Amino acid sequence: MKLFGSKQTTEPKSQAELLYELQQRKERIFRTNVGASWVFLLLFLYVVFSGDSLGLDAISLDSKFIADNFAFIGKGLGVTIYISLLSIALAIVLALFAALGRLSRFPPFYALSTFYVSLMRGTPLYLQIFFFFLALPQLGIVMPPIMAGVLALGMNYGAYMSETFRAGIGSVGKGQREAAIALGMTSGQVMRRIVMPQALRFAIPPMGNDFIAMTKDSAMVAATGFVHELMWRATRQGRATFHNLEALIMAAVFYWGMTLLLTAIQSRIEARLGKGDR
């Protein structure tokens, strides 16, 4: 290949180049078609659900209900995100301690960690949520609804996430620790400066997945009736006026949009993290 070729000399392309271009073109065409199909599917859904225009009464959505309740249900999105953020923060802290406990040689700490993880993973999240809302008050422990929801979600996800952290810490080679120790670092410094940054980098993609999953699992908190997030608002308005279809579709669109946005953010972060790696 020429580096500074002038434009008018069109050299014949090599076989490999041609094949590569062909492949690229195929890939582009495939992606375009997938995109077009998505648009079509969305349009289809839109047409079907605005049934009026097709004369289909069964699936016509009440646009007045949608307009009237958009703000009310939409407000739940903020609550959903708020709960999810608090819960993920709690989950990260718990996961960190649980992962360290699991790596510890101090029996009580190790036991506490395995006990916690086992209990949280061995019972349904749905049950845990109700436990915090309904069972604890029986013992005289009453807390603000949001706090109960955050505790349940955070503790549950913390247990799962601790495995991610543990894998992350395990992914840091022995040689890394030894190099740091040989340089005179204390075990705390080795953990903070060498092991944790690498473990976190390893754990961030799965943590992103957990966070996205949590935003949707937070809908379960609605079942207790005390936290006025997206799902609670949608079901309440839907039931009250017999507009469950509209209300749930609205909630679905909100959840879906949020998930798409979070996924986009996540792939951005991953692309950036990829840089300095190994």
Instruction: Name the site residues for other proteins (rule: CB under 8 A).
Output: 173, 175-176, 178-186, 189, 193-194, 197-198, 201, 275-278
Largest CA distance in the chain: 86
CA dihedral 201, 202, 207, 209 (to 10 degrees): 120
Task: Output 201 or 216, the one with its CB closest to other proteins.
Answer: 201
CB of 193 to other proteins, least distance (A): 6
- Bridge partners, 60 (sequence order): 50
Per-residue burial over 58-96, b = 16 or more CB atoms within 10 Å of its CB, e = otherwise: eebbeeebeeebeeebeebbebbbebbebbbebbbebbb
CB of 96 to other proteins, least distance (A): 18
CB of 103 to other proteins, least distance (A): 19
Task: Output 127 or 183, the one with its CB closest to other proteins.
Answer: 183
CB of 186 to other proteins, least distance (A): 8
CB of 196 to other proteins, least distance (A): 10
Task: Output 35 or 173, the one with its CB closest to other proteins.
Answer: 173
CB of 171 to other proteins, least distance (A): 11
CB of 178 to other proteins, least distance (A): 6
What gap in Å lies between CA 190 and CA 199, rounded to an integer?
A: 12
Task: Output 108 or 188, the one with its CB closest to other proteins.
Answer: 188
Task: Output 190 or 234, the one with its CB closest to other proteins.
Answer: 190
CB 250 within 8 A of CB 240: no
Task: Output 186 or 267, the one with its CB closest to other proteins.
Answer: 186
Backbone Cα Rg of the chain: 26
Tell me the two tokens of residue 274. 């990829």
DSSP secondary structure string for all residues of 107-172: HHHHHHHHHHHHHHHHS-HHHHHHIIIIIHHHTT----HHHHHHHHHHHHHHHHHHHHHHHHHHTS
What gap in Å lies between CA 185 and CA 224, rounded to an integer?
A: 50
Task: Output 39 or 183, the one with its CB closest to other proteins.
Answer: 183
- Bridge partners, 50 (sequence order): 60
